[in-house]
Amino acid sequence: MTAAISTFDPPLSQPGYRLFDGPLRYVGDVSEGQIGVVGMPSDWTHSSRLGTRFGPDALRRATTLLQSMRPQGTSFDPDTGRRTMPATDWLADCGDAEIIAQDVDATTQAIGTMTEGLTAAGAIPLALGGDHYNSFPACLGYSRGLGKRAPNARFGYIQIDGHLDFSDSLGAWGSHNHATNARRISELPNIDVSNMVWVGIAGWVDGGDLALIEEQGGKVFSASDVHKLGPAEVMRRALAHAMRGCEELYLSIDIDAMDAGYLPGTGSIVHSGITPRQYYDLLDGLAEAPLGGLDIVEVSPPLDPSERTEFLAAEMLFRILRRFRTRSVTEL
């Protein structure tokens, strides 16, 4: 019989990484105005190449490593031309939702419960996929939480993506999978398709889905539009369209809008031609947008042995969260 160890009592720390090396907190302990991170390590609703269930961990690791290499004090930000310093207590990592691989409904509710709690408390849920289906439960919870916090409020929706994901169903996967998430979101009570915008769509799309979006007033910007108009102009138009009559914005970042030559570690690659710089400029275009919730999906580390995909995705988070994670020195 082994004697109980009673004298060794080291200080314990949370194993693994948290996003941006933030603190680990329960949903109920995240404060108003903070970013509340929810991991969605699920890829059972993808139809071909799996691996995104390792995405949340990869994003946590990559953001932590990149953060450690950034200036810890006051510094000059060459992208904005401002002097900034890191903000404090701006983000809390709530860990992963309970994923039940064989039960899409239970997984949906588990994710939705977390983002609902965060939204209702006035925090901003940031959900880490997982395949793109998980964007629906993340937005479902956001929608419910918004309904509690501001019953009459409506939200606009921007999806940066290589694909529309607006199918009503997909083959053997039925109505809840990575090709139907936007369609399911369009059915939520406090959003209208006319406030939904897609940016970066590439290659071929289903003509019926495209027609349905445009007939209802939705807007689609292709990868070619990004090239022709420039990312800043595309996002200016996208934001203006999405926010008509809305108080908040929900943003879904599907990394696969970036050309697969740059970013191969994702389930459904496209050759869109959107470069990393263009993608970051698109996100910079949302610097002052009234973000109510967001997700980043389709990071699949096993599909990119070079690991550059997760670092490109981490940089996307650095961009879209710039105003939260930094403070201008003039504000101090």
Partner 1 sequence: MPLRSAPLPRMAGHLSFMRAQTKAISDVRPGDLAVLGVPFEDTSAPYAGQSLAPRALRETSVYFGWHANPQFSHPVDIDARQDISTDGLHERLCDLGDFSMGSEDAVHATLRAVVTQINKIGACAVILGGSDHLSEKVQGALPMCQTAQLGGKPRDASGFHIAPVSESTTLTKTSNSARQLTELTEWRNTSRPLFVRFDLSVFETSLSALCDQPRLGGYDLDTVSHWLSALGQLDVSAIMLTGLNPSRPGMGVVKVGQRLMVTALLAFIYARLGFGIIPPTRQISKESVTT
Strand partners, 156: 249
| Rounded distance between C-alpha atoms, residue 240 and residue 320, angstroms | 17
Question: If you ran DSSP here, which 8-state letter would residue 197 be given?
Answer: E
Window 277 to 316, contacts with partner 1 (CB under 8 A): 302-306
Enumerate the β-bridge partners of residue 159: 198, 252
Q: Is 261 one of the binding residues for partner 1 (CB under 8 A)?
A: yes
Q: Which amino acid is at 141?
A: G
DSSP label of 217 = T
The only residue of 207, 330, 331, 332 in contact with partner 1, by rule CB under 8 A: 207
Q: Which of residues 158-177 bind partner 1 (CB under 8 A)?
A: 167, 169-173
Place of tokens 């956001």: 142
Per CB under 8 A, the segment of 6-14, 103-111, 248-256, 260-268 that binds partner 1 is: 260-268
Residue 137 makes contact with partner 1 by CB under 8 A? no
* 215 lies in the binding site for partner 1 (CB under 8 A): no
- Interface with partner 1 (CB under 8 A), residue from 48, 72, 88, 152: 48
Closest approach of Cβ 194 to partner 1, in Å?
20
Name the segment binding partner 1 (CB under 8 A); options: 125-133, 254-262, 313-321, 324-332: 254-262
Q: Which region, judged by CB under 8 A, interacts with partner 1, from 87-95, 139-147, 196-204, 284-292?
A: 196-204
The per-residue DSSP string of 68-106 comes to HTS-SSSEEETTTTEEEEE-SS-EEEEEEPPP-TT-HHH
Whether the Cβ atoms of residue 309 and residue 263 lie closer than 8 Å to each other: yes
Q: Are 220 and 210 in contact (CB under 8 A)?
A: yes
Which is closer to partner 1, CB of 74 or CB of 224?
224
> What's the chain's length in residues?
332
Residues interacting with partner 1, by CB under 8 A? Answer: 47-49, 167, 169-173, 201-211, 220, 222-224, 259-261, 264-265, 269, 271, 273, 302-306
